[in-house]
Amino acid sequence: MKLRALIAGVALAASLMSQAARAEFPEKPIEMILPWPALATSTDIIARKVAEQMDPILGQTIKVVNKPGGAAVVGTAEMANARPDGYTIGGLTIGPAVSQVAAGTTPYSIDDLEPIGMFATLPFLIAARGDAPFNDIKSLAEWSKSTGKQPILAHWGKATVPTLSTYRIAEKAGFTFNEVSYTKVDASQLLNGEADVAIVPVTSVIGGIKDGSLKGIVALTSGRMSALPDLQTVREQGMDFDVAIWTGLFAPKGTPREVIDKLYSAMSKAVESKEVQDFSVESGILVYSLGPDETKAQMTSEYEAFRAVMGPLGLIKQ
């Protein structure tokens, strides 16, 4: 009996010590891995701004380290294989976190990534010339069916997230694209007649939309864009899903939930800061907070959807 009591006492003490240790998290600086080149895009900038605003909330510095390579898979894999204690996290986009996993081109699975939460969506849209005979996805589908034409789509590459999402939209609407891939897509492909519609960031077409030479067809975002507040999202145009080229924070599988929750709380507060909100207005990036469970559910749904689209396109590695 004494031995059992001693063992129970030791177990209780160990549990209390473990809980206390987690409650004190973080006790040292945290490393945030970004799997792309430093300051190359607004994605990098927004992640750094969120990290900077999390520092005073957590009482520790978040050291941002860029580790590009393998279309963002190298840095993501390093984060996924790190010790699951909350001191190595990653700022990831939907590409290395979901679509590339769905394609079977990563050394990690979707379950190896523990979501802390999403915090931003990049402002992409499908655009057309201002005089195009369609204004939204429904009328684009009707035009395609009535004319027998496949609308020419200018995109960034068949396996990229915006393009896969656009294929999914067309499939749901009942038409197909005649697509053309470019290393860079902007207003020029529309204005010179190379394409009927194009997948573009809002910054590259906002001027043309304002002067009427271009128009937005649908926002590839989870909410209305501040730059184009009247442009409906995919769900608002009758689809049963959202499209979002998102960025979020992740930790290795097995990171304690108490640690995940503390990091999410800090991220949520950081997103509300003036610095992050000001950059949101300046860049057009949508910022928000989506919790770990909601993020995981969305990732699972997107994974299955991408697999369904990628299979017929021959994009899944056997």
Q: Identify the pLDDT of residue 23.
A: 58
Nearest to 155 by CA among 208, 98, 201: 201
| Residue 17 reports pLDDT greater than 50 | no
Taking the domains of the chain in order of start, what are their residue ranges?
28-122+244-313, 124-220
Considering the chain, what is the average pLDDT of its residues? 93
* Arithmetic mean of pLDDT, 255-261: 98
Q: Identify the pLDDT of residue 40.
A: 73
* Arithmetic mean of pLDDT, 8-17: 53
Kindly report, residue by residue over 126-152, the tens digit of the pLDDT: 999 999 999 999 999 999 999 999 999
Q: Identify the pLDDT of residue 205.
A: 95
* Arithmetic mean of pLDDT, 65-93: 97
Q: CB under 8 Å to 271, separation ≥6 — which residues?
A: 50, 53, 119, 277, 287, 288, 289
Q: Identify the pLDDT of residue 41.
A: 87
| Residue 3 reports pLDDT greater than 80 | no
The CB density around residue 203, as the number of other CB atoms within 10 Å, is: 13
Place of tokens 């190359």: 40
Asked whether 237 and 136 are in contact (CB, 8 A), the reply is yes
| Residue 5 reports pLDDT greater than 70 | no
Nearest to 303 by CA among 152, 155, 164: 164
pLDDT band at 231 (very low <50, low <70, confident <90, very high): very high
Distance in Å from the first CA to the final CA of the chain: 58
16-20, 61-65, 143-147, 152-156: segment of lowest average pLDDT: 16-20
CATH topology assigned to domain 124-220 = D-Maltodextrin-Binding Protein; domain 2 (3.40.190)
37-41, 182-186, 216-220, 278-282: segment of lowest average pLDDT: 37-41
Asked whether 217 and 59 are in contact (CB, 8 A), the reply is no
Query: Which superfamily, per CATH, for 28-122+244-313?
Result: Bordetella uptake gene, domain 1 (3.40.190.150)
pLDDT band at 174 (very low <50, low <70, confident <90, very high): very high
93, β-bridge pairs: 247
| Residue 10 reports pLDDT greater than 90 | no
Q: Identify the pLDDT of residue 273.
A: 98
Nearest to 26 by CA among 303, 296, 258: 258
pLDDT band at 4 (very low <50, low <70, confident <90, very high): low
Q: Identify the pLDDT of residue 6.
A: 53
Residue-by-residue DSSP string for 66-98: E---TTTHHHHHHHHTS-SSSSEEEEEEHIIII
Q: Identify the pLDDT of residue 21.
A: 46
| Residue 61 reports pLDDT greater than 80 | yes
